[in-house]
Amino acid sequence: MIVLITSILAITLRAGTSLVYATIGEIYTERSGILNLGLEGMMLMGAVTSFATVYYTGSLALAVLAAMFVGMILSSIHAFLSITMRANQVVSGLSITLFGTGFASFLGQRLGPAENGKYLIGLIGEKFTPIAIPGLSGVPLIGAFFNQDLLTYITYLIIPIAWFYMYKTKNGLNLRAVGDNPQTADAMGIDVLKTRYLYTILGGMLVALGGAHLSLAYAPGWTENITGGRGWIVIALVIFSMWNPSRAIWGALLFGGINAVQFRLQASGTDIPASFLNMLPYLATIIALVVMTWIEKYNKKIGAPGALATSYMRGEK
């Protein structure tokens, strides 16, 4: 039994990694007051470019950098539209998703080698493999945490750092003020537009890195719709986390855990239809979202950034 739970936990962490990156990225973006609904598109683009890079160069480091570069480009477009042009952030974000989804699919059919009909689908490349930490990986339960790939290990660091930066540093304080009350932040001498650009782009890079984890580690290779809607799940997880990076882990574990359990159930040949099991993570997300939103109503202190999805311009009459 312990062995089973340990293995489910290990899969949970693996499944949750891409979500942790994307959730923390989007939390930072939304904390600056910018809603980026382009997540799904950016994750797919991150996944396809990182896999293509690793296929041709064999370098995982280059693949990760390529994904982050694409995330930077796409989120810069969103930042330009919603911060400088003051466009509707929902529309801009959705366009990024529509573009990213289509373009990733297109690249998946064009970037491959000629002998594979230019398709990336079905190819095998380098991947992040689990690195067992000697001594720790053998411990029941806890061992699940120490038999993971490098990108998962990095999330163990990124979560506390992201939390510390947001709540304990000067820059984090300024960031929260910009997203909550840009008028006040501006009057206090904080450069609202610069801050928003910075964290929208940083967030986009993390989101694309989340996508890269899918094609480089979780399900190595490229398949159409490899994200399976994770970009949308993350939007819910951000709310579930109450925009607090330290809670991103719980959302990611919940979704990843249910994913792992349903995976196990399907493998064990249960009578429950597969499509019902596939639905469970999404159902859990909706329920979690409803519960958290309900709790939030009774707690004024934490919640959505006050100026989320609104553009800012210094008050001229």
Partner 1 sequence: MEEKQPVPILEMKKITKQFPGVLANEDVDLELFKGEVLALLGENGAGKSTLMNILSGLTRPDSGEIILNGKAVDIDSPRDAMHLGIGMVHQNFKLVSTMTVAENVILGLDSENFVLDMKKVGKKINEISDHYRLKVDPDAYIWQMSVGEQQRVEILKLIYRGAEVLILDEPTAVLTPQESNELNEIVKKMTKEGKSAIFITHKMDEVMNFSDWVRVLQKGKLVSVVRTRDTNPKDLANLMVGREVLFRIEKKKCNPGEVRLEVKNVSALNSKGIEALKDVSFSIRAGEILGIAGVAGNGQRELTETITGLHKVLKGHIFVEGEDMTNKAPIDLIKAGVSHIPSDRVAMGIVGDMSVASNLAMKEYRKAPLTQYGLLHPKRIFNLAKGMIELFMISTPSPNTNVKFLSGGNIQKTILAREIGACRGLLIAVYPARGLDVGATESVRKEIIAERDNGKAVLLVSEDLEELISVSDRIAVMSEGTIMGIVDTETADIESLGLMMAGVSLKESGAKGG
Q: Which residues bind partner 1 (CB under 8 A)?
A: 168-171, 173-174, 176-177, 180-181, 183-190, 300-303, 306, 314-317
Nearest distance, CB of residue 119 and partner 1, angstroms: 49
Nearest distance, CB of residue 187 and partner 1, angstroms: 4
Contacts of 188 (CB under 8 A, 6+ apart): 177
Contacts of 51 (CB under 8 A, 6+ apart): 63, 120, 123, 125, 215, 216, 220, 221, 222
Tokens coding 179: 């997203």
Nearest distance, CB of residue 160 and partner 1, angstroms: 14
Contacts of 97 (CB under 8 A, 6+ apart): 37, 38, 39, 40, 41, 42, 231
Nearer to partner 1, 153 or 243 (CB): 243
Locus of tokens 């945490």: 145
Cβ pair 52, 35 in contact under 8 A? no
Nearer to partner 1, 78 or 176 (CB): 176
Nearer to partner 1, 118 or 314 (CB): 314
Nearer to partner 1, 51 or 243 (CB): 243
Report the alpha-carbon distance of residue 152 to residue 146 in Å, rounded: 10
95 C-beta neighbours (distance < 10 Å), count: 17
Nearer to partner 1, 286 or 295 (CB): 295
Report the alpha-carbon distance of residue 309 to residue 243 in Å, rounded: 14
Nearest distance, CB of residue 107 and partner 1, angstroms: 40
Nearest distance, CB of residue 25 and partner 1, angstroms: 22
Nearest distance, CB of residue 165 and partner 1, angstroms: 10
Listed residue (6, 8, 3, 1) closest to 265, CA to CA: 8
Cβ pair 216, 46 in contact under 8 A? no
Nearer to partner 1, 116 or 183 (CB): 183
Nearer to partner 1, 47 or 166 (CB): 166
Tokens coding 4: 């089973």
Helix (H, G, I), strand (E, B) or coil at 220: coil
Tokens coding 298: 């009774």
Nearest distance, CB of residue 198 and partner 1, angstroms: 15
